[in-house]
Amino acid sequence: MRQAITTDIAVVGAGPAGLAAATAARRSGATVLLIDAFAMAGGQYFMQPVSGVNTRAQVRAGNAAIRAAAAVGVKMLTGTEIFAAYPGFQLFGSGAQGAVAVNASAVIAATGAHDRVMAFPGWTLPGVMTAGAGQRLTKVNGVLPGRRVVIAGSGPFLWAVAQSLLDKGADIAALVEARHPSPSLVAHLAVFPERWLETVGLVAPVLREVKRVVFGRIVAEATGDGRLEQVAIADSDGTRAETLTGIDALLISYGFQPNLEITALLDCVHDFDDALGGWYAVVDGDTGRTSIPGLYASGEVTGIAGARPALLSGELAGLSAAAALGFATDSSDAKLATLRQRLARARRFGHGLGRLFVPLPELDRLARPDTILCRCEEITRAEVQAACGEGADNIYGMKIWTRAGMGRCQGRLCRMSLTACIARATGRSPRLVGFNHPRVPSRPVPVEQVLAAMQEVGAAVPGPAAKLR
């Protein structure tokens, strides 16, 4: 089974940014294909439940955005992951609906982000998961990640996850935030009165219903016999403070890192900023244009900033992409200027939060010599440090030296831990340490599905035999 689709604009990722981009581009008159890896559109922020009605405003807004996209004639292809992208543009995907080959004149990458994970002793125990995964379990399937849960890490997302779990009646033993509420946080919030209501709505129910909210502390270790039982909490310098017992789920997150698969496969310029989630796709702020003509990016892939900038940058990228293909926009210059101003302001808010909740610089020291940093290949911190001593001094060098990052996840999960460990051991900056460049396929795909997607290409042409390499 294979679908071949030709479209003016292909939007990859159906979260807030992708939905806004697709709707705006379609309204301008372009044909638009919106593709998402998950069974339902929405992404992490606008995530929709498998069944039943969720009355939360965020879920309803997501539902409205999905219906709006469908109403204007955006073609939706969910449950389909794009595993290859080529200039021009040609995208190949696979999934529940079979293989797909897409020809598009422009591509908008709205691929979002995933949890940033820093390895610590016990992080691979069953029961320990990323906050994003725990929230997805709860929001999509209505399944709680555990009976007694600890949520830990840093940043506003912890509070959103706590709310999702509280909605389903979770027993949250503690929420542990690495940072203290600071005067600079108050000063930052003070500048954005339009976000006060939202902030109170995020924080108040959690403060009311979660038994313990701990500031200025981190999870130093997870322990248990075969699965998670205890969570050791420490001061930010690593000094042990207390141990929480009887815990069967630990949801941990130090913010997000952009999903770079599409932008990296299409090879636009990327840059590094810890406050923006590490590596991100560089775009023109007003239009979402990347360094590759016809390739646009919007939302978290351009640097973590939150859902509001995602919606606004998505709309602007959709309008820009359509206009560049010659479709008249129904947006006046004044409306565009307003959108841009609102986006710039929303980004200032999000980036400011990113800077205030930037991961603690000492976090990577929690891992012990025998703590695994690369889960797929089971590479420990000691092995990574030893390789640094022998000449491996960037992500690529580490990969060929130790196989770290060479496994199934292709370095997504270990990116933060490896980068920090290499940077510390070699004294090189995280930018120089680099990232594991995604290659085709961006996720493991059965070869028969790859072949199905690429079936029209690859006619047999006789050529020379050569020496074995």
Site residues (vs another protein, CB under 8 A): 84-86, 90, 92, 265, 267, 390-394, 396-397, 399-401, 403, 406-408, 410, 439-441, 444-448, 450-451, 454-455, 457-469
Cβ proximity to another protein, 84 vs 311, nearer residue: 84
Cβ proximity to another protein, 226 vs 463, nearer residue: 463
Cα separation, 330 vs 332, whole angstroms: 6
Cα separation, 358 vs 35, whole angstroms: 31
On whether the CB atoms of residues 174 and 252 are closer than 8 A, the answer is no
DSSP structure class, residue 89: T
Q: What is each CA distance from 360 to 179, 236, 374, 467, in whole angstroms?
A: 8, 8, 20, 52
Cα separation, 213 vs 83, whole angstroms: 41
Q: How far is the CB of 439 from another protein (least distance, A)?
A: 5
Question: Kind of pairing, strands 148-153 and 171-177?
Answer: parallel
Cα separation, 453 vs 91, whole angstroms: 9
Q: How far is the CB of 410 from another protein (least distance, A)?
A: 7
First-to-last CA distance in the chain? 36
Q: How far is the CB of 84 from another protein (least distance, A)?
A: 7
Of 152, 159, 158, give the one whose Cα is nearest residue 252. 152
Cβ proximity to another protein, 324 vs 440, nearer residue: 440
Q: How far is the CB of 114 from another protein (least distance, A)?
A: 18
Q: How far is the CB of 17 from another protein (least distance, A)?
A: 24
Q: How far is the CB of 2 from another protein (least distance, A)?
A: 13
Of 38, 41, 110, 50, give the one whose Cα is nearest residue 81. 38
Token reading at 10 = 């292909």
CA angle 372, 376, 377 (to 5 degrees): 70
Token reading at 365 = 């020291």
On whether the CB atoms of residues 327 and 28 are closer than 8 A, the answer is yes
Write b or e for each residue in 30-59: b if 16 or more Cβ atoms lie within 10 A of its Cβ, otherwise e.
bbbbbbbbbebbbbbbbbbbeeeebeeebb
Q: How far is the CB of 263 from another protein (least distance, A)?
A: 13
User: Which of helix, strand or coil describes residue 189?
Assistant: helix
Rounded to the nearest 5°, which phi and psi values hold at 448? Answer: -65, -30
Q: How far is the CB of 468 from another protein (least distance, A)?
A: 4
Cβ proximity to another protein, 99 vs 319, nearer residue: 99
Token reading at 251 = 């949801």
Cβ proximity to another protein, 320 vs 442, nearer residue: 442
Q: How far is the CB of 77 from another protein (least distance, A)?
A: 19
Cβ proximity to another protein, 330 vs 378, nearer residue: 378
Of 272, 340, 280, 328, give the one whose Cα is nearest residue 304. 280
Q: How far is the CB of 87 from another protein (least distance, A)?
A: 8
On whether the CB atoms of residues 407 and 374 are closer than 8 A, the answer is yes
Describe the crossing of helices 381-389 and 415-426 by its angle, rounded to 10 degrees.
40
Cβ proximity to another protein, 198 vs 390, nearer residue: 390
Q: How far is the CB of 465 from another protein (least distance, A)?
A: 5
On whether the CB atoms of residues 316 and 340 are closer than 8 A, the answer is yes
Cβ proximity to another protein, 266 vs 346, nearer residue: 266
Q: How far is the CB of 292 from another protein (least distance, A)?
A: 13
Rounded to the nearest 5°, which phi and psi values hold at 32? Answer: -135, 130
On whether the CB atoms of residues 164 and 138 are closer than 8 A, the answer is yes
Cβ proximity to another protein, 166 vs 432, nearer residue: 432
Token reading at 58 = 């965020």
- Max Cα distance, the chain (Å): 73
